[in-house]
Amino acid sequence: MNRIETEVSGGCQCGALRYRATAVLDNSHLCHCRMCQKATGNIFSALVAAPDEALTWTRGKPSVWKSSEKVERGFCANCGTPLFFHHVENGRTNLMLGTLDNPNAFPPHANICTENMVTWFETITDIENTGATENNGPAWAAAIKQSNNQHPDHDTDGWKVKGREG
C-alpha cells in the first residue's frame, strides 16, 4: 500500500467537526462487513485511509464508539455523521469517503468483506437514474435549499453549528 502525499479535508454534515490529512494511502475501497453496514446504515462503507500521524482535527473532536476490541468508529455527536473506522493497532484511520470535501478524488479499488455483500449489489449500476434533485421534485428541492443547515465542502471560519433537537 503506497502513501500519497496530498492534502485532503472533510467533516461532518453540521460542521461541528472538521479534519485535514496531509497524506492518504492508495487503499480506497468498499467494505461490505456487517459492522460497516450497521455503522453507516448503508449496504457498504466507502473508505480511504490516512496515516494517523497525517490526520488532524481542525474543528471539534469526534465521539468514538469501540465496535470491537480492535476497532473504534468515530462520529459527530451533534448530527450523527459517521466519520471513520480506526483499527487501534495499524496506525491508520479509514475516513468515510462521503465526509471528504472531494470524494470524487478517491474512486474505490476493491470490494472487501464480500461474504456480507447484499445479493443485489452488482445490479445497482443498472437501475434507473432519475437525474438531479431538482428534477425529482422542484418544490421540495427549493425548500431544502432554502433551509439547508449542511456545512459546505470546504473549511470555514465562524461557522454556526446548529444543535440537536429533542
pLDDT digits (tens, 9 = 90+) for 95-130: 999 999 999 999 999 999 999 999 999 999 999 998
Of 56 and 165, the structure prediction assigns the larger pLDDT to 56
Residue with cell 476490541: 69
DSSP β-bridge partners for residue 86: 72, 93
Q: What is the pLDDT of residue 101?
A: 98
Q: What is the pLDDT of residue 165?
A: 60
- Looking at the predicted structure, is the pLDDT value of residue 80 above 80? yes
Distance from C-alpha of 151 to C-alpha of 40, rounded to nearest angstrom: 19
Distance from C-alpha of 23 to C-alpha of 45, rounded to nearest angstrom: 20
Which of 8-12, 38-42, 96-100, 154-158 has the least mean pLDDT? 154-158
Instruction: Categorize the per-residue pLDDT at 137 as very low, low, confident or very high, splitting at 50, 70 and 90.
Output: confident
% of the chain exceeding 90 in pLDDT: 80
Average pLDDT, the chain: 93
Distance from C-alpha of 21 to C-alpha of 93, rounded to nearest angstrom: 10
Q: Please name each of the domains of the chain with its CATH number.
A: 3-119+133-147 (2.170.150.70)
Distance from C-alpha of 45 to C-alpha of 69, rounded to nearest angstrom: 20
Which of 28-32, 90-94, 143-147, 154-158 has the least mean pLDDT? 143-147
**Strand residues in the chain grouped as ranges (E):** 3-11, 18-25, 29-31, 45-51, 55-59, 63-66, 71-75, 82-87, 92-96, 110-112
Read off the pTM: 0.90
